[in-house]
Chain A
Amino acid sequence: MLKKRIIATIPVIGNTAVQSIGFKKYLPLGKPDIAIEFLNQWGVDEIVVLQIDARKHEHQISAKQIQQLASKCFVPLTYGGGVKTIDDVHLIIHNGADKVSLNQPVLHQPEFITEIAYQYGNQCIVASIDIIKIDNSWKVFDYVTQKVHPIDFIPLIQQTINAGAGELLINAVHKDGKYTGYDIELMQKISELATIPVLAAGGAKHPEHMLELLKNTKVSAAVAGNYFHFYEHSVTIAKKHLSNTLNEIRTETSFNYHLNQLDNDGRLLKKSDEILEHLLYTKIEKEII
């Protein structure tokens, strides 16, 4: 059975991973490659790195940067930010990433998607679309101009799929950094009409938010950024919570939290006294690869 994916995004400014709040405010986290290494060990299903200052600062994608990100990443890695030419795509794929994420070309240059699909296949392209809710209706948001884009999101999605995109990464801008849960209604709508996998982002704070999303929509993945950097083993803990009710979760890490409960903020609670009382020291064999 194909599993629902739990994907971590890492927004990067310069060489620093950041938390993003409403696409406006950013808090520094640390080195992106360290974050990747940890997320890997905690059993994340996929990682998306977005160089969010690429357009503003004319960031040059470098082979060294991609190599560094990929060196300890044994799950699929998507890179986005300032991808403009087929040579950029070549450089990204050739240095250890698996897919490219495109945002501006989706809005302004759909033929570029087709060009990439022809050479690298459509499974290589993640089309990232930012959507904002204004006056109770959803609009496409252009993060470079910080303005609403003239094309409606439904025709834009159709056009993007026809151009050859392999997946849609839908980011609800009005939910970004708000920690109030995903925009379920929007994700429902898009995952019903899209014929390619939909990855939903924006608003996750608690594993319960991911559960709400995965239970009520047809999206293929719950994407979170900030949430995964709140505490140690965040991915493992979230997956433990999800797999209590969902079968479609991959839980293959050598450690788990199946005896723990979570509090309202998604933090781990102490095991109950009954469990602790019966807990024996069990020897855990080292996993030999």
Chain B
Amino acid sequence: MNKLKIGIVDYGVGNTLSVANALQFLQYKVIISNKQIQLNTCDVLILPGVGAFQTAMENLVKVGLEEVLLNEVFERKKPILGICVGMQLMATHSLENGKHKGLNWIPGTVIPIESKPAFPVPHVGWNTIDIKQAHEAFKRLNNDSHFYFDHSYYYQPINPEHIIATVEYGSSITAAIQKNHIMGVQFHPEKSQVNGLKLFKDFIQQLKQYA
């Protein structure tokens, strides 16, 4: 049994349980919560997401999680992994259904994928990623590794150095971003079979270096 405790941030529109299933399969202790008192006992946080940006952000603010996360992530330097909309929330703003403010942890904008004849939007399905920078979370994965994507918008960071992996869909789209101990992935590791489980495990195990 693994001693590490993972906190899945619950803000009402995330697919919290599918993330919990994957982490429990890896034998981590998992809690799903929106309370500071519980989240601050965790070693790693996961910010999941399905849903529209605006609803997600509003919910996050409404349950008071913006403050909680600021404290956990910036004061206490807790590693956090954002998934899909959970990753997009880390942007400065999003252009989904109008312009909306995000958490602004990694400066950038969430913009629509351009629809082209052979590339219907949303971008749905299994695609191979291009790893741009070596990262602990990708150490057992390569450019032939498939991940499951399901999105109509993507994150474009201002500083291209924050991009650690991209995906090809008509053009090059951000698949993973990272800044210090903050990481985000556009795809769904919890729904990417073995590759996703490996990514979760290696992301969590890298924790040692921040301890």
Contacts and interface: CB of A to CB of B under 8 A. Distances in A.
Partners in one complex: yes
Contacts of A167: 122, 124
Interface string A96-119: 111100000000000000000111
B18 A195 contact: no
A242 B168 CA distance: 22
Interface in A1-16: 1-5
28 contacts: A2-B149, A2-B169, A5-B126, A40-B193, A43-B193, A67-B17, A70-B17, A70-B18, A71-B21, A74-B190, A76-B148, A76-B150, A76-B188, A93-B13, A95-B17, A96-B18, A98-B191, A99-B150, A117-B52, A118-B52, A123-B50, A123-B124, A123-B151, A167-B122, A196-B120, A197-B125, A220-B125, A289-B201
Nearest to B22: A74
Given A74-B192, A123-B124, A220-B125, A96 B51 contact: no
B194 interface: yes
Interface in B29-52: 50-52
B146 interface: yes
B178 interface: no
Interface string A106-144: 000000000001111111100000000000000000000
Contact of A3 (B50, B51, B122, B126): B126
Interface of B: 13, 15-18, 21-22, 25-26, 50-52, 55, 85, 96-97, 115, 118, 120-128, 146, 148-152, 168-169, 188, 190-198, 201
Given A74-B190, A167-B124, A195-B120, A119 B51 contact: yes
Interface string A39-77: 010010100000000000000000000010011111111
A196 B193 CA distance: 25
Nearest to A126: B124
A209 B21 CA distance: 35
A209 to B, nearest CB: 20
Nearest to A5: B125
Interface residues of A, number: 45
Contacts of B191: 74-77, 98
Given A123-B124, A220-B120, A252-B193, A93 B15 contact: yes
A75 B193 contact: yes
Given A2-B125, A196-B122, A289 B55 contact: no
Contact of B55 (A76, A77, A119): A119
Given A93-B50, A119-B13, A74 B197 contact: yes
Contacts of B188: 76, 98
A122 B122 contact: yes
A70 B21 contact: yes
Contacts of A5: 125-126
B123 A252 contact: no
A197 B194 contact: no
Interface string A245-264: 00000101000000000000
A94 interface: yes
Given A2-B126, A74-B191, A121 B152 contact: yes
A127 to B, nearest CB: 13
A274 interface: no
Contacts of A287: 194
A67 B15 CA distance: 12
Nearest to A221: B125
A121 B127 CA distance: 20
B175 to A, nearest CB: 12
A42 to B, nearest CB: 11
A233 to B, nearest CB: 16
A96 B25 CA distance: 14
